[in-house]
Amino acid sequence: MNGFPLKKETIIIGWVSFSVILVIFLLIVAFNNSQYPDPEDWAKGTLEKEVPSPSNQSSIRMYLVQEGGATSRFQMRGEVVYPTQETRNIYLNYDEDRTDVQWLNEDMIIINEERLNIKEDVYFWKDDPKWEEKREKKYE
């Protein structure tokens, strides 16, 4: 009979350990998902500028996003409007209020010094390993 309490304690310790590991795992998953939102879930913002492509078939709309009040800075969101009027977010930069847009051709564009293919690319500041360097240059 002395062995039975030990088994019960072992089972309880096992369940507690499993529960703690599960909670930690779920928190990590939730944190990672909140850090990298889907581009279509980015904040909308206020339209600042619309720049048509060279053929006027597509355009880029630039929005100034001001969410978070005094605790966060401006963001600049760029969305492409295709000839079908379908839209897709392709640019989001934090601590940004410029709207420099230059079309290179029908598929390539430069938005605030970031070169993008409007059919494939997405610029998200959190995915840019050189974002801090670029930001520091901006304030020099």
**CA–CA gap between residue 101 and residue 136 (Å, rounded):** 21
Residue 62 confidence (pLDDT): 95
CA distances from 18 to 51, 53, 84, 97 (A): 55, 56, 51, 47
Give residue 69's region: left, alpha or beta (phi > 0; psi -120 to 50).
Answer: left
**Mean model confidence pLDDT for the chain:** 82
Evaluate if pTM is beyond 0.85.
no
**Cβ-contact 101, 62 below 8 angstroms:** yes
CA distances from 24 to 11, 16, 21, 37, 73 (A): 20, 12, 5, 21, 31
Residue 50 confidence (pLDDT): 95
Domains of the chain by residue range = 1-35, 42-126
* Residue 78 clears pLDDT 80, i.e. is over it: yes
**CA–CA gap between residue 15 and residue 11 (Å, rounded):** 6
Residue 8 confidence (pLDDT): 75
